[in-house]
Structure 1
Amino acid sequence: MSEAGVIHDIGYQRYDGPRLGRLAMQQALFVHGLRAAYGLGRSAKAKIFPWLVFGIMLLVAVIVAAVRSITGEADVLTYLEFAGQMSFLIIFFTAIVAPQLVSRDLRSGTLPLYFSRPLRAADYVSAKFAAMVSAIWLLLGVPQFIMFLGAVFTTKDGVKGVFNEIGDLLPGWGYSLLWALMFAAIGLLVASFTGKQAFAAGGIVAVFLVTTPIVGVLSSLPSTTANQLAFLGSPMTLLAGVGQWMGGRFDLELGRFGPIYGIEAVCLIAACLLILLARYRKVASL
């Protein structure tokens, strides 16, 4: 006597809704990364540090706007100089946020799940990089806008004064974007090599701070050319050199090498992104 098989219908159905594709996945990763950078949707503990840094920078912007309105001095702290003055806060912000964006994925083992879908390594890298850049740029751009509003509402030159402020703000925002690109590229690259957030944060701080003595050594050489190129040795002084070339007051003697600073900044960002992409292509192929 043979037994007949029985098929039970337990209600599973195939998904027949819209398939949004890679672009939607990138957008989701970007939004999630930007929210994670500021601790949105996470515990109160995760919000403390990013919002503390953001609050300090807003406070500085308000103080600058107030001092400028009282004294009438337009050069208390320019838009180009703002990022440089806040550099250490940006370093620590990057050291906390970058591991949140990539190290957590390594530690939790979610990367194989991501790459099991039609999501490429380039999609993952571009989404995380865009989220990190946006987080750092907002950290700088919003306080600069507060400074701009303070200057606009206290200007004595009317419409001409407003347009002058816009002409100063836009290069400042562009310079802040360069800072965001540089710090995001370096921070994500360092963080991508370890799933331990503490190690990633320490490595990021080390990259920015340990390279500073290189500048001091090159600056002490008897060669004028070496002195003028010395600031290429550290990401922070490299960015200061670009700011000096753009017309900021960074008290750096660059000589005729100003364009070299701009070229190296672009090349360093590109190199970090290429290495980061190669890193995740290797992970995706495993």
Structure 2
Amino acid sequence: MPEPTGVIHDIGYQRYTGPRLGRRHVFGALYLHGVRTTFGLGRSAKAKIFPWLVVGIVLTVAAAVTAIRAQIGEAVMTYAQFADSMSWLVIFFVAVAAPELVSRDLRSGVLPLYFSRPLPRADYPLAKLLALVTALWLLLGAPQLMMFLGAAFTADGMRGVWDELLDLLPGLLYAGLWAVVFASVGLLIASLTGKRAFAAGGIVAVFLMTTPIVGILSVLPSQTANQLAGLASPSTLVQGVGIWTLGDLLITDPDAGIPDLGSFGPVYALAAVVLVAGCVALLLARYRKVAAR
């Protein structure tokens, strides 16, 4: 009978005996990685080109507005109006960032690795959503802070700085509304496909192709249809909420063609809440389905 020839080698393997950080730290790591991903940090130079180009544009506009105000002595754009004017850039930023956050993971098939750890199924999409909301809020909020600092240095005493701060805070909240709505819609669309090009095209299509619907509804003979037309597009929905809640901070020129909401301002706010809640619910359901495969 031949003797056994197998040999057991001691390769120095040791069990992990350090602290196990748990769910909160896993969620935090996903969130932080997501924020870095939206700006291309930790990735190739090519991945940084578009997000930092957008950042450069919004900061340049903010610097120009600040410089003009310093020269003429009056504001040419409120903080809330700045968020409105940069909304078209936010659309394209979401179209690039959202697929980077979720479509790459779907295509590469790494989700089973995430869910093999003690990570609840809801934490992955919520961490990605929170990361995208943060990135969009920073994209719109940081230039507003630059505008505030420029205005504060030229303000007439502390009273002027305080008044400027009272104008800034609603602008930051309005930027948060843009971020929440756009991130919810964009991430839901991106989660439906692992192909980044398809996801980006779908996001741009949803935001831009709904705008003509608003235009059609706004010229109908019915006044009610005109006042509710903004509900047909995420962009005009957010603007409707802003018109209702911010008033003079968003409408500085009554002759500028601002849409008439009539008495439907609360309807716009409710529609925004329903849209965000629906997108989040569908996003969670999507990842429950992915995890079950």
TM-score bracket, normalised by the shorter chain, equals over 0.9
TM score, norm. by length of structure 2? 0.94
Alignment of 1:88-237 (within 5 A): 88-156=88-156, 158-237=157-236
Alignment correspondent of 1:273: 280
In the alignment, residue 168 of structure 2 is paired with which amino acid? L
- What is the deviation of 1:24? 0.9
* 1:58-106 deviation line (CA, Å, top 9, x unaligned): 01001111111111223x1111111110111100000000000000000
Alignment correspondent of 2:254: none
- Whole-Å separation in 2 of the counterparts to 1:7 and 1:43: 43
Alignment correspondent of 2:68: 67
- Whole-Å separation in 2 of the counterparts to 1:7 and 1:35: 44
Corresponding position: 1:263 with 2:270:
yes
- Aligned-partner SS, 1:183: helix
* 1:177-221 deviation line (CA, Å, top 9, x unaligned): 010001111111000011111110000000001111111121111
Alignment correspondent of 2:259: 252
- Whole-Å separation in 2 of the counterparts to 1:37 and 1:172: 23
- Aligned-partner SS, 1:12: coil
- Whole-Å separation in 1 of the counterparts to 2:267 and 2:68: 36
In the alignment, residue 268 of structure 2 is paired with which amino acid? Y
Alignment correspondent of 1:10: 11
In the alignment, residue 173 of structure 2 is paired with which amino acid? G
Alignment of 1:18-29 (within 5 A): 18-29=19-30
Alignment correspondent of 1:30: 31
Following superposition, which runs of at least 4 residues in structure 1 exceed 4 angstroms of deviation?
Answer: none
- Whole-Å separation in 1 of the counterparts to 2:104 and 2:91: 19
- Whole-Å separation in 1 of the counterparts to 2:2 and 2:51: 69
In the alignment, residue 38 of structure 2 is paired with which amino acid? A
- What is the deviation of 1:120? 1.6
- Whole-Å separation in 2 of the counterparts to 1:69 and 1:10: 69
- What is the deviation of 1:10? 2.5
- Whole-Å separation in 2 of the counterparts to 1:154 and 1:252: 33
- Aligned-partner SS, 1:121: coil
In the alignment, residue 29 of structure 1 is paired with which amino acid? L
- Whole-Å separation in 1 of the counterparts to 2:219 and 2:52: 40
Please, which moves more after superposition, 243-252 or 87-96?
243-252
- What is the deviation of 1:11? 2.0
- Whole-Å separation in 2 of the counterparts to 1:261 and 1:83: 18
- Whole-Å separation in 2 of the counterparts to 1:117 and 1:166: 45
- What is the deviation of 1:6? 5.0
* 1:125-179 deviation line (CA, Å, top 9, x unaligned): 11101110111110000000011011111112x1111111111101100000010
- Aligned-partner SS, 1:173: helix
Q: Aligned residues: percent identity?
A: 65
- Aligned-partner SS, 2:122: helix
- Whole-Å separation in 2 of the counterparts to 1:8 and 1:128: 43
Unaligned runs of 5+ in 2: 252-256
- What is the deviation of 1:2? 6.4
Alignment correspondent of 1:239: 238
- Whole-Å separation in 1 of the counterparts to 2:89 and 2:138: 13
- Aligned-partner SS, 1:9: coil
- Whole-Å separation in 2 of the counterparts to 1:107 and 1:269: 26
